[in-house]
Structure 1
Amino acid sequence: MSGIKLSGDSSGTTTTGGMTVREMTRLERIGAHSHIRGLGLDDGLQPRKGGSQGMVGQAKARKAVGVIYRMINEGKIGGRAILLAGKPGTGKTAIAMGLAHQLGENTPFTTMSGSEVFSLEMSKTEALTQAMRKSIGVQILEETEVMEGEVVEIQIDTSFASGDNKPGGKKGGMEKTGRLTLCTTDMETVYDLGTKMIDALSKEKVTAGDVITIDKASGKITKLGRSFSRSRDYDAMGSQTRFVQCPEGELQKRKEVVHNVSLHEIDVINSRQQGFLALFAGDTGEIKSEVREQIDAKVVEWKEEGRAKIIPGVLFIDEVHMLDMECFSFLNRALESDMAPVLVIATNRGITNIRGTEYKSPHGIPLDLLDRLMIVSTDPYTHDEILKILSVRCEEEDVEMADDALELLARIGTETSLRYAIQMVITASLAAEKRKSAQVEIEDIKRVYKLFVDVKRSTQYLMEYNKEYMYNELDDSDEYAVDNGDEEADKKEDSMETSP
């Protein structure tokens, strides 16, 4: 249960026989960045303080990405690329996730790792092409006739239908007939219902007082909410009931319906026999360039006619240094296309080899692509920022931690890494739960610190016992500060023993 969050109202918590029973309202999966809700910026693109929207620190980087966000909204940054560069554990992926939440659901946001292109059963350029086309949205505008009104009454009659019992004849059975009374502020009409419409109304659990819309072409019924005139019917509503006004005007109206799809979805639907079912089966495969060219031409035609709108989204590639020269050359060319999304890439590498070559370059990215990038650097977190991040994670993982234990955990995160300290939150909570304590104390932090070693202590152990491991590449002549490392480890243990 370490990765599952059970969130409920604190007022619904009871204790019976020493066992705590909490009312469960929803079940959420906790991830590494599930606490991120946005970039935490105000209207002036200035970073808010106090962990707004889950973002802590990195004020300069957040402000820079906030400018990118505004340019994306105004449609002035198509075909651009942004590089998030910084040390490991400095919040590069968190900033990208914050940008995704800030853009909203209608703007496509695709995330992938640089190594994914080598694990798919298709060419590297095809994998990148599909990822880029997933990040380009198309809003298709369609006018349709609907009936919208408040349900006054639903009458359903069940009768026995007599039938012919001769061979080949139709046998008798139960038939359903009914009438639906809809009204607006100006008119009221009674409609006869067939079996399909009765089943659709029963499936949507439509009752008198609901405001509904019925698509005349497909017969789809959508419940908009409960009429304000029935707001005093306490027996017929729950805590999540949404109240809406009774519609005005005529019952039959023409409405503009917006369908949001991506270019990749249109590609798959038009290149596979099973159509959109291929999206669910995962049978996308490689798509011919001729199909994509025809779709692009059709989308441009729809755009000129005013029937569609192209929304450039964001493609986020983490660990971009894992790409090779062929992938970088493809991205270099793809950014010049009219159908190019905003490319956001992240890396924690310094000056290193470009994958597959012997050439060194900053961040492992070729210089011609680096010249196209708007580079945003991230700085290491301070002690106070690590303390705030751990406090946010404790709240996200529903862990009660004492102030002195949280301070000790922040010190550990400063000396080792933020990721190691975050991993210790839930393990320390389990240690506290084992001793039947509702709050994590210093002794729980000490216990998991001894159980799970960090990278520095693990490396120190390897240096000390390198001869006992297979495929060891260290020589006796190599100079490593083994003794100094032991002294540092001993000092760290002593500091934990004397910590508050």
Structure 2
Amino acid sequence: MATQISTGASELRDITKMERIGAHSHIRGLGLDDRLEPRTSSQGMVGQAKARKAAGMILKMVQEGRIAGRAMLFAGPPSTGKTAIALGMAQTLGPDVPFTMIAASEVFSLSMSKTEALTQALRRSIGVRIREETEIIEGEVVEMQVDRSLTGATKTGKLTIKTTDMETVYDLGTKMIDALTKEKVTAGDVIAIDKTSGKVSKLGRSFARSRDYDAMGADTRFVQCPEGEVQKRREVVHTVSLHEIDVINSRTQGFLALFAGDTGEIKPELRDQINTKVAEWREEGKAEIIPGVLFIDEVHMLDIECFSFLNRALENELSPLVIMASNRGMARIRGTKFRSPHGLPVDLLDRVLIVSTQPYSPEEIQEIIKIRCEEEDVTLAENALAVLTSMAGQTTLRYALNLISCGQVIARKRKSDRVEVDDLRRAYTYFMDEKRSVQWLKEQQGSLMFEEVEDEQATNAMDVN
């Protein structure tokens, strides 16, 4: 018996997003021109020219569908824009290409096995573009008659629809009448009815009826009367991820699990069936695979089991491009006693293209601070900008960016719209950076609770273990 695989595509869209200012909300893309050359400052991106160009080349191959099943590693010190470049890639790819972003520690905190969590992330990053032909009735409503029975329980009616070439009368049942009433369809409206689902879409008012009324709402849209036949065949294209198909077809989960987030473990047998069905659709020309991108931040937090699984998963026919980021140098591979570059096993490092990110120059730091001030709607005095740039060089870029909004709060207390040097100095005294915090701990000389003073032998013993 053939298995019926559902995609549930029509019900998956229309989720409203909340807007707020985040650490990387100023990133709009990679800031590259048509020849993939990085601009000095564009789309929120500053500096890191080599890394951005490498990311742009990879994106070009992703869009052409030529780099699925490969891996990249962004390696560099903290605050050098690794996550920013990944988000720029996501913005450049657009909504059609799936982009999944996870932190490596998420894998251990979910209520499922590590390999299942990684499998779901990988399948969430692979899209299936499905083409379906549907029959639609499209035209201008000439007249709609509704007859109710004496009890009002049953309703029948007739709908007259015309195009510029022909006019047709359709008999209506109760459900169709309810759908038309819900959309408030009246004579003169141009509508489209999907024959398979019975969905009614109101396209607008006909230009021929534009002079019928003196008063019209601001949102009234006028459209031309459709041409050709009333009944047409139209190709509908929708994109879903393999993970969404998995969840919808899982008997234990069902469609609502997509919104709840807790999808649980999905049986491998079901995934095999879906893979087979998708392969059939590809052969028939009904669907095409869109390899997307899976971004794993802080990848050194994964353990040896996860790395072994990723090695195998990258060789799978259905695998996305995996981009990883790490700020570690020589570090211990979790789950082993061995040390390796970036905390990744050597066999996985052999498979990845490594892109390094460099610390920002003072000029680039100043440009980033300006962009963040625009994003957070903060006016910074010229001398305050110079002080903040110097502060970022002595401490860290993230610490300096955090002081922007703190300085604004202090400036508002003295009823000023501009952040001055004194505001930043006060914020600097209120909040410590990492170096001053370490210095303060040394000055306390063991007065804090549970502080252990270890000798060199104990430290070396810990390193060995």
Pair 1:249 & 2:240 matched: no
User: Kindly tell me: are residues 414 and 79 of structure 1, through their superposed partners in 2, closer, same or farther at Cα, counting changes over 3 Å?
Assistant: same
- In the TM superposition, 1:65-464 aligns within 5 A as 65-149=55-139, 151-152=140-141, 161-162=149-150, 172-173=151-152, 182-189=161-168, 191=170, 194-201=173-180, 203-204=182-183, 211-224=190-203, 236=216, 238=218, 246-273=225-252, 275-464=254-443
Counterparts of 1:249 and 1:453, CA distance in 2: 72
The residue that corresponds to 1:32 in the other structure is: 23
User: Kindly tell me: are residues 416 and 283 of structure 1, through their superposed partners in 2, closer, same or farther at Cα, counting changes over 3 Å?
Assistant: closer
User: How many equivalent residue pairs?
Assistant: 440
The answer to whether the 8 A contact 1:466-1:472 is kept is no
User: What SS does the corresponding residue of 1:29 show, helix, strand or coil?
Assistant: coil
Counterparts of 1:228 and 1:68, CA distance in 2: 48
| Shift of residue 269, structure 1, vs aligned partner | 2.0
Residue identity opposite 1:129 in structure 2 = T
Counterparts of 2:188 and 2:445, CA distance in 1: 76
Residue identity opposite 1:39 in structure 2 = L
Residue identity opposite 1:390 in structure 2 = I
User: Kindly tell me: are residues 450 and 224 of structure 1, through their superposed partners in 2, closer, same or farther at Cα, counting changes over 3 Å?
Assistant: farther
| Shift of residue 324, structure 1, vs aligned partner | 0.6
1:1-55: CA deviations, max 9, x gaps?
xxxxxxxxxxxxxxxxxxxxxxxxx9721211111111111110011233x2211
1:446-487: CA deviations, max 9, x gaps?
221111111111111111114111232346999xxxxxxxxx
The answer to whether the 8 A contact 1:429-1:440 is kept is yes
| Shift of residue 296, structure 1, vs aligned partner | 0.9
Q: Say which structure, 1 or 2, has more relative contact order (CA 8 Å, 6+ apart).
A: 2
User: Kindly tell me: are residues 358 and 225 of structure 1, through their superposed partners in 2, closer, same or farther at Cα, counting changes over 3 Å?
Assistant: farther
| Shift of residue 183, structure 1, vs aligned partner | 3.9
Counterparts of 2:26 and 2:355, CA distance in 1: 22
TM-score normalised by L of structure 2: 0.86
% same residue: 65
The residue that corresponds to 2:11 in the other structure is: none
| Shift of residue 188, structure 1, vs aligned partner | 4.1
The answer to whether the 8 A contact 2:246-2:274 is kept is yes
| Shift of residue 208, structure 1, vs aligned partner | 6.5
Unaligned segments of structure 2, at least 5 residues: 1-16, 458-465
TM-score normalised by L of structure 1: 0.80
User: What SS does the corresponding residue of 1:379 show, helix, strand or coil?
Assistant: coil
Counterparts of 2:197 and 2:133, CA distance in 1: 13
User: Kindly tell me: are residues 381 and 155 of structure 1, through their superposed partners in 2, closer, same or farther at Cα, counting changes over 3 Å?
Assistant: same
Report which stretch shifted further, 418-427 or 347-356: 418-427
The answer to whether the 8 A contact 1:272-1:278 is kept is no
Report which stretch shifted further, 218-227 or 80-89: 218-227
User: Kindly tell me: are residues 440 and 475 of structure 1, through their superposed partners in 2, closer, same or farther at Cα, counting changes over 3 Å?
Assistant: same
User: Kindly tell me: are residues 297 and 428 of structure 1, through their superposed partners in 2, closer, same or farther at Cα, counting changes over 3 Å?
Assistant: same
Unaligned segments of structure 1, at least 5 residues: 1-25, 163-171, 479-500
| Shift of residue 182, structure 1, vs aligned partner | 4.1
| Shift of residue 125, structure 1, vs aligned partner | 0.9
Counterparts of 2:51 and 2:205, CA distance in 1: 45
Of 43, 47, 59, the residue aligned with 2:38 is: 47
* C-alpha RMSD of matched pairs (Å): 2.8
Counterparts of 1:428 and 1:156, CA distance in 2: 67
| Shift of residue 281, structure 1, vs aligned partner | 3.1
Counterparts of 2:287 and 2:320, CA distance in 1: 17
The answer to whether the 8 A contact 2:384-2:421 is kept is yes
User: What SS does the corresponding residue of 1:404 show, helix, strand or coil?
Assistant: helix
User: Kindly tell me: are residues 120 and 274 of structure 1, through their superposed partners in 2, closer, same or farther at Cα, counting changes over 3 Å?
Assistant: closer
The answer to whether the 8 A contact 2:144-2:186 is kept is no
User: Kindly tell me: are residues 405 and 95 of structure 1, through their superposed partners in 2, closer, same or farther at Cα, counting changes over 3 Å?
Assistant: same
| Shift of residue 338, structure 1, vs aligned partner | 0.4
Counterparts of 1:100 and 1:196, CA distance in 2: 43
Residue identity opposite 2:322 in structure 1 = L
Counterparts of 2:109 and 2:261, CA distance in 1: 15
The answer to whether the 8 A contact 1:112-1:316 is kept is yes
User: Kindly tell me: are residues 366 and 429 of structure 1, through their superposed partners in 2, closer, same or farther at Cα, counting changes over 3 Å?
Assistant: same
Counterparts of 1:285 and 1:95, CA distance in 2: 31
